């Protein structure tokens, strides 16, 4: 990743439009549509996921209409929501969890939260509402949010899932191959949570109340321009915290961080009143005790944003707002956002393998319940696949025994890393596809107890090192059976072909001179009868030759190939663990003034 840097941005009065292409709010476990007090329309999640069971929290733990329902997952390696987005757009995803003792066990579970094949968080639920938020640039046409069990008898659940589009220029100081995990988003001096409609991107800004030595101040500006950079809502700039006198400073500590991590941080500054000519508010940012910024002079009716990108900090790191010698007014801060930066985002499982899985899902509806990346993150694969440890991973096994599959297999010839295919105990029919014999690494093939017909393709019967089970297919016949149809494995194409019947090779009839001889030695009467006899003999010989050719070993009876071409669909192919009511404390003083941002 790039080296750390910071930037002060003085926002000018240049306007831009708000993008909200995707604004999805799912009330997980509910089947109803509901509009809340913030004018957010919540949908039931049944159209986005088919697995899991709906529950309601105990009445004594009720928080809100949306947070009182949840969906619980007691089966599968992972369960994923799939949401349509625009490839390349920057989105905000928020997942909320309210245990509410729904199961009466008073034991809140822990589990894995993932997006687009990437690890997001180890969710640790409690008797309070917690939520996690990430911002990143999506790489496909869909994003996925998955939950996976990590502890025995602790089942994953989710209460709400929200996806919001952001403007492309927002949070753009971070490499798009990395995600931001929200740790804090604070509106200092505010006495209430700020979100949609006040913030059109529906970011949640929690109140940051002043601690010892600090005071809240209000902005007397009627309008504050917020149309640039990361678009903080005007409401978070209406209030700020400051020290009591100009010689004091404000310190923001990182004690809430568990260990050394790279961060992305935004600080927002806006002057509270129109200053007189003899007034100056000027301060610098210090990291620990070292100067970290140029002097900051907050503008009135506008704002200055300082962002810090890819800076590694520890729980002992502090940022201090220290007045400059010429300042007549103390420092202030209106709002802060703090994110940790993810590892590099994955590109996902091998695209050829994913496309083949999509063709399987198109062919067999029962497989469409599986969403998200089939292999990532490790070890949370789909239940019926095995994957390699390559980058990108390859699918090495398909375990589809007893899935009640019926019909014909699509073309899976591009899945050339497969070494095991188990299709036993289904209702698959038609000839055994010839492409199976072209898979170079295939070692185990179980086709038992289906309804396959015809003969085993030569590409399979002649494949060295292949263990194949075809028992329980009553319509299959052996190549030693002279009446058994065989298939041609020499086409080399992805689609198996059935060799058409060759025309029977008729025996060449010898020229018969008998009628001429008879015509010179016997009367016409006998000649006529002789001719009739010759034609009878010739007809008999021709019929005999045709019948003989029809049972010649190695010929086929002809007919069209029963193989159905695979559908050409491409694969449509992704923190804040804080309570809504948590108010970070802010302290002020002359020696050490700190706030838990």
Residues 514, 534 contacting (CB under 8 angstroms): yes
Residues 375, 166 contacting (CB under 8 angstroms): no
Q: What is the distance in angstroms between the CA of the first residue and the CA of the last residue of the chain?
A: 25
Long-range CB contact pairs, 72-77, < 8 A, 24+: 72/29, 72/102, 72/103, 72/155, 72/156, 72/157, 73/147, 73/149, 73/155, 73/156, 73/157, 74/155, 75/51, 76/51, 76/370, 76/383, 77/148, 77/149, 77/380, 77/381, 77/382, 77/383
In the chain, where does the domain assigned CATH 3.80.10.10 lie?
A: 351-477
Q: Domain 23-166, what architecture?
A: Sandwich (2.60)
When mean pLDDT is compared across 12-16, 114-118, 528-532, the lowest value belongs to 12-16
Residues 6, 34 contacting (CB under 8 angstroms): no
Separation in Å, CA 206 to CA 3, 38, 272, 335, 534: 30, 15, 20, 10, 108
CA distance 436 to 419: 11
Q: Which fold has domain 351-477?
A: 3.80.10
Share of the chain above pLDDT 70, in %: 77
Check pLDDT > 70 for residue 310: yes
pTM above 0.85, yes or no: no
In the chain, where does the domain assigned CATH 2.60.120.260 lie?
A: 182-344
Domain 182-344 has CATH 2.60.120.260: yes
Which pLDDT value is given to residue 428?
A: 97
Check pLDDT > 50 for residue 570: no
In the chain, where does the domain assigned CATH 2.60.120.430 lie?
A: 23-166
Q: What is the mean pLDDT of residues 82-100?
A: 97
pLDDT single digits (tens) 155-212: 999 999 999 999 999 999 999 999 999 999 999 999 999 999 999 999 999 999 998 8
Share of the chain above pLDDT 90, in %: 73
Residues 166, 180 contacting (CB under 8 angstroms): no
The Cβ of residue 62 has, within 10 Å, a number of other Cβ atoms equal to 13
Q: What's the pLDDT band for 481 if we cut at 50, 70, 90?
A: low
């Amino acid at each position: 990743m790039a080296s750390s840097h910071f930037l002060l941005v003085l926002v000018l009065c240049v306007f831009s439009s708000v993008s909200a292409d995707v604004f999805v709010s799912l009330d997980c476990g509910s089947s109803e549509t509901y509009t809340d007090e913030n004018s957010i329309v919540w949908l039931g999640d049944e159209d986005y996921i088919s697995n899991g069971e709906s529950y309601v929290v105990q009445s004594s733990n009720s928080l809100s209409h949306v947070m009182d329902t949840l969906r619980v997952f007691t089966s599968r390696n992972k369960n994923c929501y799939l949401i349509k987005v625009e490839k390349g757009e920057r989105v905000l995803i928020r997942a909320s969890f309210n245990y509410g003792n729904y199961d009466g066990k008073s034991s809140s579970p822990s589990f894995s939260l993932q997006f687009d094949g990437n690890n997001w968080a180890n969710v640790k639920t409690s008797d309070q509402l917690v939520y996690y938020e990430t911002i990143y640039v999506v790489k496909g046409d869909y994003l996925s949010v998955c939950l996976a069990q990590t502890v025995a008898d602790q089942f994953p659940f989710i209460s709400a899932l929200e996806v919001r589009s952001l403007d492309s220029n927002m949070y753009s100081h971070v490499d798009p191959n990395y995600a931001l995990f929200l740790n804090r988003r604070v509106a200092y001096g505010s006495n209430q949570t700020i979100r949609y409609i006040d913030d059109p991107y529906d970011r949640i800004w929690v109140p940051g109340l002043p601690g010892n030595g600090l005071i809240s101040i209000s902005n007397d500006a009627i309008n504050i321009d917020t149309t640039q950079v990361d678009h903080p809502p005007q409401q978070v700039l209406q209030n700020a915290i400051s020290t009591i006198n100009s010689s004091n400073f404000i310190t923001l500590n990182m004690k809430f961080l568990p260990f050394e991590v790279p961060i992305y941080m935004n600080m927002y500054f806006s002057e509270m009143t129109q200053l007189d000519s003899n007034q100056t508010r000027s301060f610098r940012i210090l990291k620990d005790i070292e100067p970290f910024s140029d002097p900051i002079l907050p503008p009135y009716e506008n704002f200055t944003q300082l962002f810090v990108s890819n800076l590694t900090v520890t729980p002992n790191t502090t940022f201090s707002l220290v007045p400059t010698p010429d300042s007549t007014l103390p420092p202030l801060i209106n709002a802060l956002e703090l994110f940790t930066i993810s590892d590099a985002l994955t590109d996902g499982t091998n695209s050829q393998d994913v496309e083949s899985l999509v063709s399987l899902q198109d062919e067999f509806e029962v497989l469409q319940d599986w969403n998200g990346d089939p292999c990532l993150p490790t070890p949370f694969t789909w239940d019926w696949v095995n994957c390699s440890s390559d980058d990108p991973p390859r699918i090495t096994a398909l375990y589809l025994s007893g899935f009640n599959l019926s019909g014909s297999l699509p073309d899976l010839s591009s899945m050339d890393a497969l070494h095991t295919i188990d299709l036993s105990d289904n209702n698959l029919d038609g000839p055994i596809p010839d492409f199976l014999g072209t898979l170079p690494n295939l070692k185990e093939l179980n086709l038992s107890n289906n309804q396959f017909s015809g003969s085993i393709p030569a590409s399979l019967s002649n494949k060295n090192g292949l263990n194949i089970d075809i028992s329980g297919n009553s319509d299959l016949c052996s190549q030693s059976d002279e009446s058994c149809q065989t298939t041609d494995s020499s086409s080399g194409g992805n689609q198996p072909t059935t060799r058409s019947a060759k025309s029977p090779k008729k025996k060449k009839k010898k020229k018969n001179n008998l009628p001429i001889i008879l015509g010179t030695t016997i009367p016409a009467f006998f000649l006529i009868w002789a001719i009739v006899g010759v034609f009878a003999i010739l007809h008999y010989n021709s019929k005999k030759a045709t019948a003989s050719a029809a049972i010649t070993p190695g010929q086929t009876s002809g007919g069209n190939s029963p193989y159905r071409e695979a559908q050409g669909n491409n694969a449509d192919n992704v923190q804040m663990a804080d309570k809504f009511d948590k108010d970070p404390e802010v302290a002020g003083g002359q020696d050490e003034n700190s706030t838990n941002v």
